[in-house]
Structure 1
Amino acid sequence: MERESIETSWGRVGCTVRGTGGVPLLFLHGVGSDRTAWDGQVECFGAERIAIAIDMPGYGDSEAGNGDPRSDFASAALAVLVALKVPQAHVCGLSLGGVIALAMHARAPERIASLVLADTFACHPEGQAIFDRSLAGAAELGMAGLADSRADALLAQPADPAVRQAVVKTMSRIDPAAYARAADAVWLADQRREAAAVSCPALILYGSQDRITPPALSEELKQLIPHAGLIEITGAGHLPNLEQPAIFDRVLAGFLAGLDD
């Protein structure tokens, strides 16, 4: 099963769907990415269950929203589950995707089988400053220039040149208006109350060399969600699914296997 986009009650959402059976697994990308960042995971997990990756509103093949960005993004993701007739899904979100996963759980906990929160946070202490720098950088450098200037901070060093090139290419094609809305959704979030209310199984992952969302923020999430697992992925920065895909996939598979037993 494959789709480039799907019409939902929210609007058109770009998505990739692979596999059949099992409890579906939904992947949510970060602010500087799109659904293609999850291609490896969709291929891997689509061998055993339905695996879905979506474009956030305004990204890739998704139409832009016009409401509160965080609410819009959560609504679009939940609408995809409804359109695909998925009553409940595991949700794996990285950075912005993790913020949206928490927002989805707050809005519709009955639709969330589990949460995997990768390199994300409930509230970033430097969120306003990062938001301001992100928008200023996009305005001054353009998305391609911003992508090239940020890539080394996103990745553990020394970075794989092919991974760096892919990160820059993906970020360069983001619509600036969509990027601004996504930056609002992630960096200005304060979801400490929502995180503390998480009732489903949860796993927190983080790259050992993440400089964007330092490990301390994952540890704070663990304090807010005491029943969650907490796992460090060594040799990775902010994008462990791209930098250390074999380890990322193995950890995620182990978590899901424990829930499927």
Structure 2
Amino acid sequence: MSATVSFTVPTPRGPQPVTVSYARAGRGEPLLLLHGIGHHRQAWDPVVDILATERDVIAVDLPGFGASPALPDGLAYDLPTTTSVFGAFCEALELERPHVAGNSLGGLLALELGREKHVRSVTALSPAGFWSEAERRYAFGVLLTMRQISQRLPLPLVERLSRTAAGRTALTSTIYARPGRRSPEAVVAETLALAQATGFDQTLRAGTTVKFTDDIPGIPVTVAWGTRDWLLVRRQGVRAKQIIPRARLVRLPGCGHCPMNDDPALVARVLLDGSR
């Protein structure tokens, strides 16, 4: 069920209102799902029904992405602000230290929420922040190109391309290893989500200096990486294991940067195991 919630977050100019869109399904311990830059909460659709058999699943549109409005003027799209936003979001929904899972930017946010002890477990799928400078520049260049293409393609052309496996591959092969499995409707929706994301540019700029460098003691952490992730290459997972030595490092065979679509059963199992 889709819903919105509004709350305030502290800023140097006083409390500011923030509104976040989310969908909730299932029952059990709460599990918060966070998507990557330029995406939207529907990225998790392939695994939500499986997760909802054992978890109270809350899939969120990050501020400035999907159906969530942009942050108010004066709030930066950086890690401290976003962590504060999701701390307030959990309070507003009365989620007491939920499990959290994230992909890409969402994986970095999940790890940051774990570092701040706001959650009871973390599962990060190809999280940002473990790159070398060359790898970061490459990934940001690819993301900017994807963004520009999505903004320039006429909607009728996107719809026509989405009707064939070859067209879906042309539109989404950067993030999916098996783009033909994505439905035409989903491909159109996420192309529009990338084109219309009001928080994209500021989020990308804020990420130019980001690296995750801290251990996360005291809570279970799982880091999973697709073997066919061409955006954030899998050797970054080895770095994540070195920085968070007690983390469980999981290989996702045949999966790309957004593995939820490539192998829903495997990803759901990793998320459920990580939150047990």
Q: 1:118 aligns with which of 117, 122, 125?
A: 125
The change in CA–CA distance for 1:237 and 1:117 in structure 2 (over 3 A counts) is same
Q: Does 1:169 align with 2:189?
A: yes
Instruction: Tell me which residue corresponds to 1:45.
Output: 51
CA deviations over 1:158-193 (Å, ceiling 9, x no partner) = x34241743453132332532212323555421213
Which aligned pairs between 1:137-148 and structure 2 lie closer than 5 A? Answer: 138-139=147-148, 141-143=149-151, 145=153
> Which stretch of the first structure deviates more once superposed, 167-176 or 211-220?
167-176
Instruction: Tell me which residue corresponds to 2:201.
Output: 180
**Could you tell me how far apart the structure 1 residues matched to 2:106 and 2:239 are?**
17
Matched AA of 2:64? G
Tell me which structure has the larger Cα radius of gyration.
2
Task: Let me know the Cα RMSD of the aligned residues.
Answer: 2.5
**Could you tell me how far apart the structure 2 residues matched to 1:130 and 1:214 are?**
9
Shift of 1:55: 0.4
The change in CA–CA distance for 1:238 and 1:68 in structure 2 (over 3 A counts) is same
Q: Does 1:191 align with 2:198?
A: no
**Could you tell me how far apart the structure 1 residues matched to 2:146 and 2:224 are?**
28
Alignment TM-score, normalising by the size of structure 1: 0.84
Matched AA of 2:121? S
Shift of 1:45: 1.9
Higher helix share: 1
CA deviations over 1:106-125 (Å, ceiling 9, x no partner) = 3x31x210110101143322
Shift of 1:249: 1.0
Matched AA of 2:131? H
Q: 1:88 aligns with which of 78, 87, 97?
A: 97
> Which stretch of the first structure deviates more once superposed, 68-77 or 147-156?
147-156
Alignment TM-score, normalising by the size of structure 2: 0.80
Shift of 1:75: 2.4
Shift of 1:26: 0.4
What secondary structure, in the 3-state scheme, does the structure 2 residue paired with 1:73 have? helix
Percent identity for Structure 1 against Structure 2:
26
**Could you tell me how far apart the structure 1 residues matched to 2:126 and 2:94 are?**
29
Q: Which runs of 5+ in 1 are unaligned?
A: none
**Could you tell me how far apart the structure 2 residues matched to 1:117 and 1:198 are?**
15
Shift of 1:72: 3.0
Q: Which runs of 5+ in 2 are unaligned?
A: 10-17, 159-167
Q: 1:16 aligns with which of 18, 23, 38?
A: 23
Instruction: Tell me which residue corresponds to 2:268.
Output: 249
Instruction: Tell me which residue corresponds to 1:99.
Output: 108
Contact 2:150/2:191 (8 A) holds in 1: no
Instruction: Tell me which residue corresponds to 1:203.
Output: 222
CA deviations over 1:22-69 (Å, ceiling 9, x no partner) = 321000001131011112333222222211010011112212114221
CA deviations over 1:83-122 (Å, ceiling 9, x no partner) = 110111111010010111122233x31x210110101143
Q: 2:86 aligns with which of 77, 82, 89?
A: 77
Instruction: Tell me which residue corresponds to 2:5.
Output: 6
Matched AA of 2:22? C
Contact 2:19/2:68 (8 A) holds in 1: yes
What secondary structure, in the 3-state scheme, does the structure 2 residue paired with 1:37 have? helix
Q: Does 1:227 align with 2:246?
A: yes
Matched AA of 2:32? L
CA deviations over 1:9-30 (Å, ceiling 9, x no partner) = 241101011123x321000001
Q: Does 1:30 align with 2:36?
A: yes
**Could you tell me how far apart the structure 1 residues matched to 2:99 and 2:181 are?**
30
**Could you tell me how far apart the structure 2 residues matched to 1:144 and 1:93 are?**
29
**Could you tell me how far apart the structure 1 residues matched to 2:179 and 2:150 are?**
24
What secondary structure, in the 3-state scheme, does the structure 1 residue paired with 2:59 have? strand
What secondary structure, in the 3-state scheme, does the structure 2 residue paired with 1:93 have? strand
